[in-house]
C-alpha cells in the first residue's frame, strides 16, 4: 500500500468510496480504504470515525472502541462517535461506561437518534420500560428508517404463538416437550451473555435452552434428567421486528430454534434448517 502523500481531493474521494462500501454492506473494504487515508493523514477524523463504524460492523468491538475514543479525544463534541462508543460498550457488557458515553452524545447533539436508541436499551435493563419507550420514540421520530419503534409483545400473544409452534411438531416431540418449561423474561442477564465465546451482545439473544438435550440424557446420569426450560426474551424480540407480522415470525423461529437445541441440534444444524 502506498505511503506517499495524497492530495486532499483524493482523500475525499477515498472517504466517499469507504462510505459507499459501508453502506452496501462491505465493512472490510471500507476499513481498508479508511486505513489507506490514515496511513497518509493519521489525524483524519472522518476516516477514523468511519473506520470505527466498519470495525463495529465486523464485530471487532475493542478495535472500534479504540478508534471512537481517538475521535472524541481530538473532538470532544463529536456526538456520533460518543453514541457509537456507547453502543460498543453496551455490547461489551460495560453498561455504566455506555451510559456515560451516551449522555455525552446527547449533550453534544440532542438530535442524535442512535444515542436515544441505545439509552433506551440501557433503560430496559433497569426495568424502566416507560423511560425506554420514550427514548425509543425519540429515536424513531429523529430517524424512523434506522430506528423503528419496537412492537409490543404481550403474554397472550407469546402463549398463542408458542402453542401454534408446538402444535406443528410431531406428537412424539410434543410429548417430550411436555416436561420443558417455556418462560418469558425481559432481557438476558450478564451471566448468560458470558456463557458464549466471545460474550454475546445482550441485545441480540432472543432465547436460549437451559438443561440437557434429549441426546445427552441417560439413566446412568440422573442429573441429566432434571427439568429443562426454553427462555424467550421479550424486549429483544420486540426490537428486531418492524411490524407485528415480522414479530410473530421471529418469535416462531426462536421457539423452533430452542426446541432444536433441546433435540440436540447444534448451531450449524439449525442454520441449515433456516432457524439461525
CA gap 206, 188 in Å, rounded? 9
When the pLDDT of each residue in the chain is averaged and rounded to a whole number, the result is 87
DSSP class per residue in 181-218: EEEEESS--HHHHTTSSSPPPTTT--EEEES--GGG--
> According to CATH, what is the number of the domain 8-142?
1.25.40.10
For the entire predicted model, the pTM comes to 0.84
CB 248 within 8 Å of CB 264 = no
Output the pLDDT for position 271: 60
CA angle 174, 212, 237 (to 5 degrees): 70
The rounded distance, in Å, linking the Cα atoms of 29 and 236 is 30
CA distance 246 to 220: 44
The residue ranges of every structural domain in the chain are: 8-142, 155-272
155-272 fold: Zincin-like (3.30.2010)
Residue 215 burial class via C-beta count within 10 angstroms: exposed 0-12, middle 13-18, buried 19 and up: exposed
List the Cα angle 253/272/274 in 5-degree steps.
Answer: 25
Give the pLDDT confidence score for residue 41 in this predicted structure. 93
Residue 129, Cβ neighbours under 10 Å: how many? 13
Cβ–Cβ < 8 Å for 92, 61: yes
Please report the pLDDT score of residue 180 as a whole number: 81
What confidence tens digit (pLDDT) does each residue in 48-85 have? 999 999 999 999 999 999 999 999 999 999 999 999 99
Amino acid at each position: 500500500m502506498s505511503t506517499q502523500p495524497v492530495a486532499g481531493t483524493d482523500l475525499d474521494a477515498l472517504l466517499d468510496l469507504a462510505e459507499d462500501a459501508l453502506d452496501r454492506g462491505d465493512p472490510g473494504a471500507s476499513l481498508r480504504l479508511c486505513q489507506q487515508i490514515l496511513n497518509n493523514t493519521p489525524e483524519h477524523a472522518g476516516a477514523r470515525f468511519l473506520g470505527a463504524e466498519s470495525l463495529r460492523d465486523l464485530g471487532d468491538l475493542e478495535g472500534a472502541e479504540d478508534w471512537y475514543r481517538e475521535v472524541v479525544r481530538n473532538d470532544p463534541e463529536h456526538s456520533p462517535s460518543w453514541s457509537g462508543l456507547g453502543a460498543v460498550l453496551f455490547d461489551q457488557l460495560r453498561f455504566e461506561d455506555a451510559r456515560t458515553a451516551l449522555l455525552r452524545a446527547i449533550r453534544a447533539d440532542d438530535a442524535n437518534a442512535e444515542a436515544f436508541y441505545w439509552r433506551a436499551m440501557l433503560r430496559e435493563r433497569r426495568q424502566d420500560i416507560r423511560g425506554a419507550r420514550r427514548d425509543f420514540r425519540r429515536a424513531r421520530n429523529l430517524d424512523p428508517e434506522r430506528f423503528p419503534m419496537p412492537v409490543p409483545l404481550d403474554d397472550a400473544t407469546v402463549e398463542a404463538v408458542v402453542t401454534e409452534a408446538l402444535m406443528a411438531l410431531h406428537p412424539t416431540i410434543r410429548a417430550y416437550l411436555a416436561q420443558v418449561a417455556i418462560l418469558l423474561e425481559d432481557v438476558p442477564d450478564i451471566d448468560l451473555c458470558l456463557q458464549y465465546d466471545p460474550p454475546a451482545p445482550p441485545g441480540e439473544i432472543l432465547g436460549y435452552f437451559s438443561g440437557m438435550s434429549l441426546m445427552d440424557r441417560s439413566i446412568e446420569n440422573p442429573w441429566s434428567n432434571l427439568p429443562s426450560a426454553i427462555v424467550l426474551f421479550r424486549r429483544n424480540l420486540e426490537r428486531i421486528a418492524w411490524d407485528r407480522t415480522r414479530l410473530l415470525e421471529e418469535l416462531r423461529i426462536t421457539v423452533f430454534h430452542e426446541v432444536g437445541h433441546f433435540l440436540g441440534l447444534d448451531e450449524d444444524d439449525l442454520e441449515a434448517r433456516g432457524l439461525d
